[in-house]
Amino acid sequence: MHIRKKIPKVSICIPTYNQGKFIRETIESAINQDFDDYEIVISNNQCTDDTDLIVRSFQSNKIKYIVQPRHLPIMTQNWNACVKASNGKYVCLLSSDDVLNPNFLYEQVHLLEKYPKVAFAHSAVELIDEQGKTIGLEKSIHPSFVRDGTKEFLRYIWGPKCVLVSVLFRRDLFNIVGGFDERYHIVGDWALWLKLLKYGGVAYNEKVLAKYRVYTTSARGSSKEKIMHCKERFKLLDETFSNWPKHVPYNDKLREKVMRSFALSTLTAAVEVSDQSERKLLISLALSKSNSFRVRLKANLINQGFGPVISFTNKAKWHLRQWVKKILYP
């Protein structure tokens, strides 16, 4: 007699490519959850390091391991492949260098079960470096909340307000919106949140439920990635404004302000690249998207050699924010 296998409540999807240094800790965090009704799906995107040996060393019956027949060049392609191979009602996409805290599933499943009109739930996260040392905290100034998708859409147009590792989303809505947009290498998660917000709200859990790895060395954040990131952000914004949801309030001033904000951050990225031609490219990109006085002034300051001052100021602001968070959330 054929016994139908029970569909798990949650799928933890771990797409990976050459993260052998961190993936053991990632998988262990997925296995050690204070919640039992879930599966772990790992999608190996033709890794060339020791990832395969590490994954196969785990004996957990929760793990489903697949190796892609060919390398998928765009990261979101492997994300979609991993989700497609899973079955859970709810999905967590866990990058193979990030870590879930043991209570992650218990807490986030509770929110999605309690609030059926919520499209996804996210939480506060601890920021760690390559060695696993805590370097900061990503946490809302607001306590836990549940908000309408229309209102949150107007917040998320300013950028992703959640960290991917902290998110648990509904599979049915993920399928409705077509999954991750495979045109994007870097902003695929932000694009998904904007699409999901057209169908439901957001639940935020103020508890720290995951660890997000930030690379402080040159191993990540190359100039080419910075340029790609800036271009993708503007592409996503252009498309979002062109296909604005009818039920969400809109005015031209909003678009102007958002574009100005991202043009200014693009100029910040320009300061961080050393190649002059790449710096000019980013400056030109920023000016093409916003002609505001602040954007033109910042571009002129960079051209006049004040880039190091701008870079120092931005780093000081980041450290100040983290210092304030340490005081507010000891």
Question: Residue 279 and residue 281: Cα distance in Å, rounded?
Answer: 5
pLDDT (tens digit, 9 = 90+) per residue, 270-296?
A: 998 889 999 999 999 999 999 999 999
Judged against a pLDDT cut of 80, whether residue 258 lies above it is answered with yes
Q: Tell me, yes or no, if the pTM score tops 0.85.
A: yes
Query: Are residues 190 and 236 in contact, defined by beta-carbon separation less than 8 angstroms?
Result: yes
Q: Which residue has the tokens 């370097």?
A: 135
pLDDT (tens digit, 9 = 90+) per residue, 47-95?
A: 999 999 999 999 999 999 999 999 999 999 999 999 999 999 999 999 9
Residues forming CATH 3.90.550.10 domain(s) in the chain: 10-213
Ranges of H-type helices in 89-208? 104-114, 149-156, 171-176, 188-196
CA distances from 141 to 60, 135, 156, 320 (A): 38, 18, 16, 15
Residues linked to residue 136 through DSSP beta bridges, in sequence order:
127
CA angle 233, 239, 241 (to 5 degrees): 100
pLDDT (tens digit, 9 = 90+) per residue, 200-212?
A: 999 999 999 999 9
Q: Which residue has the tokens 């009818």?
A: 246
For the beta carbon of residue 255, count every other beta carbon within 10 angstroms.
16
Which residues, other chains included, contact 155 with Cβ-Cβ below 8 Å and sequence gap of 6+? 161
Question: Residue 210 and residue 94: Cα distance in Å, rounded?
Answer: 10
Band of pLDDT at residue 330, cut at 50, 70 and 90: low
Which residues, other chains included, contact 147 with Cβ-Cβ below 8 Å and sequence gap of 6+? 201, 202, 203, 204
Query: Are residues 130 and 217 in contact, defined by beta-carbon separation less than 8 angstroms?
Result: yes
Which option is the CATH number for 10-213: 1.10.3470.10, 3.90.550.10, 3.40.50.300, 3.40.950.10? Answer: 3.90.550.10
